[in-house]
Amino acid sequence: MAHRELTAARLRAILGAGTRVGTAPDGVPRAVPESADACALVLRTATQEQWRVRIEGGARWSPPDAPADLVLTTAGLRRVTDVSATDLVATAEAGVPWSTLRRRLADHGAWVAHDLPGDERTLGSAVVTGTAGPLRAGFGALRDHILGITLVTGDGRIVQTGGRVVKNVAGYDLAKLMAGSFGAFGVVTSLHLRLRAVPRADMTLTATGTRDHLLDAAHAVLAAGRTPAAMELLSPRAGGTGSAGQWMLAVRMLGMESEVAAQRDAITQNAGLPFTPHGGADAADLWRRLLSGTGDDEVTLRLATLPEGLADALDLVAHHLDETVDDWISVTVPSGQIRWSGAAGAEDIALLRRNAAEREVPLTIERAPWPVRKRLGHFGAYRAGVGRLVDQLRRSFDPGRVLTVAVGAEQ
């Protein structure tokens, strides 16, 4: 606990004129630093004073409800510092909304080959939660697009890892540790990202049917040695099919025109489904709807299994979380990810997690109200020996334990 109660006035006095100070909706004083140095000052002071700190991005995805003496928001870090269309590298601050970044890059004919569930999320939020959408199938997780990260540690040190070039093995890859860490090691203030030129052709195929029929079709596409940019299986609610039991399979192909046309023919044949083709604005709408559909849900979980284990894992999810029949489920078939959104209690999630772990399937809580996160942790139980490593890493980066992030389960 803090030595002395922190007020906005006191915070202002300590931080000086360099950092804006306000108050969060729950009454907690909020610092709005505009540089890594200012973040460092805030976190150094917090460590000295033993203030618990909650780090917030846009507060549009995870609820900003962790108990804290001080909020540090990345809202003051909103610059896209640099975009190089020739080198296909961009540098942006963590508080930049993903949609802003996407627009800025599009002006240069470039993009980050990644899509993001949720609306108006910040780049920092995407990075620390390790969130991925359907494009994960073809392009990997967000960590695979990060070339360098600037991180301010829990005790206010500025660490700059990686670089601005597309290939780099100088020193340990600390950026990997930060991506998907839920902010356990500090606040990410800026990133260097790998871009791609906007592909020349972009085509989507969709089909509806029962879950298992579509899953079999997707497996047939994989077995034939094909990996489209996205191949997402969607529950009736997520796919907006409008009828219970009717799931959707959405396949996206990107690349040169000739290649996309060849893939379309091959995939249609392998899947044996009566696909509807979508192009242009129609396809863009479809994917946007898929990504923003979970906005209001309280809980988002992700499970990671092998493609072959998807039916079993989906059954498990249905078994434990089936009170709401109309679940929002999105399955990235080629890489074996399941994302589930809805309302669920800690008990049910804990049970699901335990059963999933027995199948070597990690369940990550991407978002949930604080009491659930606190009790279960974003990651929960680790494998033997790993918990100690994670604990010691946290101690190295946040020796004062000021960051209120529930990584592991409550003991």
Residue of 78, 199, 268, 370 interacting with another protein (CB under 8 A)? 199
User: Closest CB to another protein among 109 and 272?
Assistant: 109
Dihedral sign (CA 389, 391, 393, 396): negative
The full DSSP string for 218-239 is HHHHHHTT---SEEEEE-HHHH
Q: What would the two tokens of residue 12 be?
A: 């202002």
Residues in 46-85 that interact with another protein by CB under 8 A: 47, 84-85
- Within 90-119, the residues that bind another protein by CB under 8 A are 109
Reading the block at residue 401, the tokens are: 């334990």
Does residue 87 belong to the site contacting another protein (CB under 8 A)? yes
Select the residue interacting with another protein from 37, 144, 216, 348 (CB under 8 A). Answer: 144
CB of 225 to another protein, least distance (A): 4
Q: Which of residues 325-364 bind another protein (CB under 8 A)?
A: 335-337, 357, 360-362, 364
Based on CB atoms, which residue is closest to another protein, 1 or 17? 1
Of the residues 74, 235, 263, 294, which one makes contact with another protein according to CB under 8 A: 263
Asked if 411 is part of the footprint of another protein (rule: CB under 8 A), the reply reads no
Instruction: Closer to another protein by CB, 85 or 346: give it.
Output: 85
Q: What string of H, E and C letters represents the secondary structure of 19-49?
A: CEEEECCCCCEEEECCCHHHHHHHHHHHHHH
What residues are paired with 337 via a beta bridge?
304, 332
What letter would DSSP give residue 390? H
Choice between 124 and 239, CB closer to another protein: 124
Number of residues that bind another protein (CB under 8 A): 93
Span near another protein by CB under 8 A; candidates 8-16, 24-32, 262-270, 285-293: 262-270
Q: Render 306-375 in DSSP notation, one character per residue.
A: -GGGHHHHHHHHHHHSTTSSS-EEEEEGGGTEEEEEE---HHHHHHHHHHHHHTT--EEEEE--HHHHHH
Q: Are strands 146-153 and 186-194 parallel, antiparallel or unpaired?
A: antiparallel
- Across the beta sheet with 158-162, the strand order is 80-84, 89-93, 186-194, 146-153, 158-162
CB of 356 to another protein, least distance (A): 10
Q: Which of 99, 103, 395, 410 binds another protein (CB under 8 A)?
A: 395
x/- contact string, 212-251, with another protein (CB under 8 A)? Answer: -------x--xx-xxx------------------------
**CB neighbour list of residue 95: distance below 8 Å, 6 or more residues apart:** 57, 58, 73, 74, 75, 76, 77, 78, 122, 123, 124
Q: Which residues pair with 162 in a beta bridge?
A: 148
Q: Which is nearer to another protein, 77 or 178 (CB)?
A: 178
Which 153-192 positions form the footprint of another protein (CB under 8 A)? 153, 155, 157-161, 163-174, 176-177, 179-181, 184-185
Q: Which of residues 366-385 bind another protein (CB under 8 A)?
A: 379-385
**Footprint of another protein on 276-315 (CB under 8 A):** 302, 304-308
User: Comparing C-alpha atoms, which of 128, 267, 247 is closest to residue 184?
Assistant: 128
**Minimum gap (Å) between residue 22 Cβ and another protein:** 28
Task: Please state the closest distance from residue 368 (CB atom) to another protein, in A.
Answer: 17
Q: Are 246 and 290 in contact (CB under 8 A)?
A: no
- Residue closer to another protein (CB basis): 8 or 198: 198
316: amino acid identity, one letter = L
CA distance 89 to 83: 6
